[in-house]
Structure formats: structure tokens, C-alpha cells
Structure 1
Amino acid sequence: MKVWGLNSANSQLKKSWFSSPREGFSRLMQVMQDQEWSESIPMLSWAIEHPREGIILVDAGEHPRALEQKNYPALNRMLNRNMVRFPEPFQPALDQQLKAKGIHASDVSHIIITHLHQDHVGYLSLFPKARVLVSRAEFEATEKPFAHMKGYWPSLFPESFKPDLVDFKDGTFHNFESSKMLFDDLWVVPTPGHSPGHQSVIVKSQGRYLVLAGDVTPSMKYFELDTVDMVSAVGGPQQARQSKQKMVQFTKEQHALYLPSHCSTSLPRLEAFYQQKTLA
């Protein structure tokens, strides 16, 4: 089984979005007032070549329509303009990136979504034949009042969006109290905090665990720091810290390769892993 990365776009966020001791409304105000922008960060999805299930995607990237302000309520338009910018054109659509590797959209059998924020669901509509897998808690969060205040935009979902809901009923997986084995050598574990039903994907490739972490941490830089990103700081800082602690423990104990979705080192470290270099 092999994994490779797909980058849909590069963006910049306010520096205090990534790390600060502040939480709740205070953190939001800090980010709003921050004048410093981060380095460019990727918006990664993952393609898994599974020996039995074929091509499985993890997340579906950011679509350019996410920049169309008509998709958001007025308050969120202001927040978006203040907190994020795209310094360069978007990358080719995910189906075109796959096509460059000889894979057609119809070859994608499943799409596992770590969470339903817009930068992880953008190209879902390109894969109508794929089964979409989302944690039950995550999908239910999108149906609650004021879901848009937690980063959910149903207007960006495909029409008649009805994913298969994941319940973590397969018992413990190493230090995770609950898990779900979806396929041979592929598990999902609950990692709430950044969103209520956030899940991370763990695959075994060439005898080693690879963690497709989603947004458990923004990048490797913050992996072992006692801090959380702004979304987690506003929505669920304690859960986010607990999820991070479990992931740090798992990664160290299992010598896993940890790959967050917005880390500029994720792709080179994954490439180094398959080339058996020490960078991983």
C-alpha cells in the first residue's frame, strides 16, 4: 500500500492563528488584530493505493469557489478577509492531479474526510461514485444551529450530500481508546478538538504507520508544544490538547510518520520515507 500527497492550494494565515496561550474570544480578537502573516502553507489531501479497495482519498482539498464571498454570512466574510489570503493561484483540481498519475476520478472508491471544513471538502463533487466516510459526530455538527460559526459551509457540499457515518466501535487501537478499522491496514481514530468529530487516518505502509492527521496540529512545528490553533482555541481547546497528546504518544511509541494537512514538510518527509532517507 502506498500513499502520496495532493496539494490543492497554498495560503497564508495570521501568525497568531497557529499558536498563542489565549483561548476563546480573546484568541479570536488577537488573530483579528494581528498584522503579521505566516509563511505559505499547503492544503493537502492524500491518495492511498490500497491493494483491495483501489484508490482511497483522504480529504478533498480547497476549491476556488471557497473564495466566493456569497457562500458565507456577512460576519464570516469579514473574518475570512481578515484571517486568510491566497498569495498564488490554486493548484490544478484534484481529478487533474490524479489524472497526471494515470488515475481517473472514477477509480476513486472511497473518500475519508478528516473533518468537514471547506478546505477539506472542496472537490468532493468530482468523485460522484466514491463512498464518502465522515464521523457521525462531525456530520451531526454540521446540522446544528450556527454551524457556520464553527467553519461548516453546507453550501460548499455536493448536492444531496449523504456520507456514510463512522462510529468508532472496534475497541482500542494502541493508545487510542476507540477506533474503526475501515479496510486492511487502514484505521480511523477520533481526534476531536479542531472540530467536534475530527478523525485521523492511520495506514500501514512498508511496515510502518503513516498518520494522515488532518488538523490535529497545524504543522510539525507545533506538534509537541502546549498550544492549539485558533479554531481549536475557540471551539474545543481541551479536547484538542487531549487529541494532540494521544497523537504524540502514538507517534513516538510506534515510530509513526506524522503528516498534518497544512505542514510544508509533510510532502518531502513522505517522499523521503519511500526513498528510505533519514528526513522522515
Structure 2
Amino acid sequence: MAILVTILSVLQACSQPIVSQTPRTGVQRLYILNCGEGVAGDISRWSPGVNVGQSMPFAGSCYLIRHAQGWMLWDTGLADSVAAMPQGLQPSDPRAITWHLPKTLAAQLGELGVKPSDIQYVAVSHSHPDHIGNVDMFPDSMLLVQKAEYESTSASSLRSRPSGTVTTLQGDRDVFGDGSVVIISTPGHTVGHQSLLVKLPRTGAVLLSGDAVHFKSNWDNKRVPSINFNAEQTAASMQLLANIIASDKAQLWINHDKAQRDEQKLSPAFYE
């Protein structure tokens, strides 16, 4: 009888469904969304005195984070209307970036079965058009933005959001209260620029730069773009990111570095 009970117990255990290994706390998944591709006419605009007159491809990424407590979107990229522009979004300054949008943000979210109303938080690194182009797609989400940025002249479109859907920050913010998603104040590129530290259970810590740095050679050489709001703050913010990378053993994901993004997994693939 004892042997029969043991056999039945084993058979019952084998018949149970496999328990999902998805973490029940913290960050579960991070998706990289293609929120723009472009070509800069003259990259010395971002690296004064270096590579004058040379063009370079740029990327623009948005990041969708699945946390145990809900969804968060970091940056909203170019406006989805750019996808319908055959010649792309062309700048008035020929040195700047001509942007194209291969697929809309709405379509990429749809592929994942995520509706705009599912997004609990939308946070933007700063208020330039290639980062806030689709903010209006998320009228019910809580927008997380630095107070200084929200009050700046470039953020007028953010100030038209419905009442009660904006949280203005004055420094760092632990978004979910468990240390897994932390907004880092990194002013310099703009008056209220911010970056994001995400701690994934398998991939480890990832630091999303925003525009605190634009491409790897600028990071390696600590170059400050002439177009930035404040050179000293930019340098201090880059050092802060370097300190975080050292302390948290974090990877630096540079938003506009297309060479780096070409080596990464894009949605619907994801990082855990």
C-alpha cells in the first residue's frame, strides 16, 4: 500500500502544470521598441570639432517595461504620423537628423496585446519631439517628468494633459518602490533631463541614457554637444551615470546609438 501511495503521488506531481518562472515581483520583461531611424547630416553638432561634415545613422528607442505591479513606457518616440511621411521628418537645420518611422508605436504595442490604457506610467527622458511624440496616446497614464522640464518652453505640449495625469519630480524617483525601476535626474542636455535604471532578474542592471549621451564615441571621450542646455551639468550627469554603472554593474543602453541597437533584440523579443 505504501508503494502504491508513493506511485500515485509521483504521477499526480507529474500531471501538474509547470509553474511559470516569471518573477512575481520586480521587473519581468523589458521590450525595446523601434521609435525612429534617421541620418544626421553633420555629427559634429553633437561632438564639437570632431567628425566635421560627416553623417551618421541614428536610432530612437522606446522601452516598454512589464513590472509585477503594471506596465511602464519610457519615452514615446516620434509621433506616429511620421510613419506616413515618404521623405521622413526633415529638419530645418541640414546638420540635424532626418527621421523615419518604420512602424508606429501603436502597431508595436498592438503586436504585444498591450493597449494604451494598460500603461500605468509613461516617463519621458526630456521634452524634445523625438521623445514625446506620442504622449497624447496615453491620456490615462501617469506622466513622470522632472518639474524643471515640465515648466520649460519646450514642454508646452505636456502641459495640455488632463488634470491629475502628471507627476512632476524634483530629483530621483523609485517608480514602483522596490528599487527595480529608478528614474535618475541627469540634467544638462535639457534643464530637466532624466535617465532610467532598470534591474532585470536575468539580464542584470540596464541604464537607459535618454540623451545624456548620444552615441558611444561621445560617451568614451566624454564629449558635450554644443546644443546642450548646460555643459557643466552634462559633464556631471555623465559622471553620475558612470558611477551607477560601476556600482550596479550596469549596461549602458544609449538611446540614439544605432550601432548598439542593431545588436539588440527588438520587440516582440524581450529581455528578462
Range into which the TM-score falls when normalised by the shorter chain: 0.7 to 0.9
Q: Does 1:251 align with 2:252?
A: no
2:77 corresponds to:
61
Which 5+ residue runs of structure 1 have no aligned equivalent? 23-30, 68-77, 169-178
Which 5+ residue runs of structure 2 have no aligned equivalent? 1-27, 84-89
Per-residue Cα deviation, 1:36-74 (whole angstroms, up to 9, x for no partner): 34222111111001111x21000110116679xxxxxxx
Q: Does 1:165 align with 2:168?
A: yes
Higher helix share: 1
SS of structure 1 residue aligned to 2:62: strand
1:21/1:239 Cα in 2 relative to 1: closer, same or farther (>3 Å)?
farther
2:257 corresponds to:
263
Identity, in percent, stands at 22
Q: Does 1:99 align with 2:107?
A: no
Normalised by the size of structure 2, how large is the TM-score? Answer: 0.75
Displacement of 1:249? 2.4
1:253/1:270 Cα in 2 relative to 1: closer, same or farther (>3 Å)?
farther
Task: Output the CA distance in 1 between the equivalents of 2:225 and 2:81.
Answer: 24
Q: Does 1:46 align with 2:46?
A: no
Per-residue Cα deviation, 1:184-214 (whole angstroms, up to 9, x for no partner): 3111111010011111111110262111110
Q: Tell me which stretches of 4 or more aligned residues in structure 1 moved more than 4 Å.
A: 64-67
Instruction: Report the count of equivalent residues.
Output: 231
Q: Does 1:213 align with 2:216?
A: no
Task: Output the CA distance in 2 between the equivalents of 1:48 and 1:157.
Answer: 22
SS of structure 2 residue aligned to 1:3: strand
Q: What letter matches 1:229 in structure 2?
A: P
Normalised by the size of structure 1, how large is the TM-score? Answer: 0.73
1:248/1:80 Cα in 2 relative to 1: closer, same or farther (>3 Å)?
farther
Q: Does 1:18 align with 2:46?
A: yes
1:4 corresponds to:
31
1:11/1:194 Cα in 2 relative to 1: closer, same or farther (>3 Å)?
same
1:267/1:85 Cα in 2 relative to 1: closer, same or farther (>3 Å)?
closer
Q: What letter matches 1:188 in structure 2?
A: I
Q: Please point out which of 211, 217, 222 is paired with 2:218.
A: 222
- Over aligned residue pairs, what C-alpha RMSD do you find? 2.9
